[in-house]
Amino acid sequence: MTTPPRELALERARSHRDDDLQDLFTLLRQPSISAQNIGVEECAVLEESLLRDAGLSVRRLDAPGHPVIYGEWLGAPGKPTVLFYGHYDVQPADPLELWHSDPFTPTIRDGRIYCRGVADNKAQHFSHIAAIRHWLKANGSLPCNVKIMLEGEEEVGSPHLDTIVTANKDILAADLVYTSDGPVTDDRYPEIEYGVRGLLYVEIEATGANRDLHSGHWGGVAPNPILALARLLNTMIDDENYVLIEDFYENVRVPTPGAQAALEKLPFDTAATIAGIGLTEMVPPADRSYAERIMFQPTLNIAGITGGYSGEGSKTVLPARASMKIDMRLVPDQTPDEIWEKISAHVDKHGKGITIKRLDGGMLPSFTPVEHPMGDIVRAAVERGFGTVPISVPSAGGSLPDSVWTQTLGLPSFLVPYGAPEQANHSPNESYRLERLYQGIETSIHLMDLLGQG
């Protein structure tokens, strides 16, 4: 009896784990910080050689900004085509003093790889590359058609992704888009996410006098810009965390029955989740579940506020300016453009001496129906790869440029995080569990196998 190609691929993956680890380490050692333009081109070159070595034909897509790497294998006519998406850029590593090992020297401790970018997103998209490589080296051909696109600007909000996808619609045509990024919500279950929240990021600045002032000479005379920001915030969000910006909720979509049913089946333990971040309760409103908040509700979050003196000891200063940054997570059918109009009108109306500016373009929310037929294949692959029935999460809490797939390309898009909740994306000591690296590779092997049978 002949061994099925899938088994040959899995056997090869299991017997080449050290090779995979070394290749991943090479990728990890190369910093690729898009925000600071550090090492991005060098990392793109490494990705190209990895894809080539896996057996794909590789090129760069014509793109403004950091390189977009594209690889394909299209030798299975009549079979479905999967488009894998990933990003090779990473967040800055600061604050460096909080790392227990060098952020760009991959280090294994307690079954985890510690390195900036390992979870977000290098180990995750590497899992697809390794799966393709093992299958091709074991069998000579793939069971379905495969495309992979790796972006170098995800951590700065993917400013060119929509332009690139729009310009390369034919090249990127597929039957589904499959992205592994972010952590699962509950470590006990693998997870499939069918959408993401959108994002709008703004900076608000208040100014007072033409210079910082002596608070004894000028206090009670000149305006305090920090106070102006506090007063503005008070008009933007109430004690129940309801956003007061006019018509902010106007386009929030009522969840579909399928999405609502999936949400009700989620086995999340809210108390344990909250305890994990050192809290005993959620902020108001009390009648809204954890999952509902993360998936179906928009937020207005104050990400940072700066102004005046906050150094050691005291300085009696009346500052001339203060600023704050606000991120808003958006849900279908809100759009960054629409919310920008609404928040800037609000600031114009309520903030005397206050200006607002939009930082980058933001991201649209995105949505694939839980009931989409490709979902059955994805769920089966994940169950085989992780050995556990996955949960269906109608929407992730975070933001990814997923709408380029669902809206620009019109494809179903599945977000299948291979990472664990405690992997500390964007934080010091980002890490990735070795076990999840191997489970991810096997899941991607099963996905190609099941697509080939479909």
Residues that bind Zn ion (CB under 5 A): 120
Report the alpha-carbon distance of residue 201 to residue 205 in Å, rounded: 14
Distance from chain centroid for Cα 148: 17
Q: How far is the CB of 89 from Zn ion (least distance, A)?
A: 9
**Nearer to Zn ion (CB atom), residue 120 or residue 449:** 120
Closer Cβ to Zn ion, 401 or 412, answer by number: 401
The SS3 call for residue 90 is strand
Least separation, in Å, of the C-beta of 90 and Zn ion?
Answer: 8
Nearer to Zn ion, 103 or 307 (CB): 103
CB contact set of 136 (below 8 Å; sequence gap of 6+)? 54, 55, 73, 142
Least distance CB 175 / Zn ion (angstroms): 27
Distances (CA, A) of 179 to 19, 198, 400: 23, 16, 10
Give me the least distance between CB of 122 and Zn ion, in Å please: 11
CB-based closest residue to Zn ion? 120
DSSP 336: H
* Residue 32 contacts residue 43 (beta carbons within 8 Å): yes
Q: Is 344 helix (H, G, I), strand (E, B) or coil?
A: helix
Closest CA to 74 of 87, 56, 61, 86: 56
- DSSP E strand boundaries for 77-152: 81-87, 107-109, 112-114, 145-151
At residue 107, the 3 state secondary structure works out as strand
User: Which C-beta is closer to Zn ion: that of 226 or that of 393?
Assistant: 393
Give the list of residues 6+ apart from residue 385 with CB closer than 8 angstroms, or none.
190, 439, 440, 442, 443, 444, 445, 446, 447
Q: How far is CA 373 from CA 204, 380, 450, in A?
A: 45, 12, 13
Minimum CB distance to Zn ion, residue 53 (Å): 26
Least distance in angstroms from the C-beta of 120 to Zn ion: 4
Cα–Cα distance for residue pair 235/250, rounded to 1 Å: 18
Q: Least distance (Å) from Zn ion to the CB of residue 312?
A: 33
- The Cα 262–Cα 47 span in angstroms is 36
Min dist. Cβ of residue 152 to Zn ion (A) = 13
Which residue number, 120 or 186, has a Cβ lying nearer to Zn ion? 120
> Across 102-226, where does the E strand assignment appear?
107-109, 112-114, 145-151, 176-179, 191-193, 195-196, 198-207, 213-214
What's the closest the beta carbon of residue 437 comes to Zn ion, in angstroms?
A: 18
Residue closer to Zn ion (CB basis): 23 or 120:
120
What is the amino acid identity at position 383? E
Compare residues 270 and 427 and give the one whose CB is closer to Zn ion: 427
CB nearer to Zn ion: give 75 or 92. Answer: 92
Nearer to Zn ion (CB atom), residue 20 or residue 120: 120
Which residue reads 């849900």 in tokens? 331
In this structure, are residues 450 and 18 in contact, taking their beta carbons and an 8 Å threshold?
no
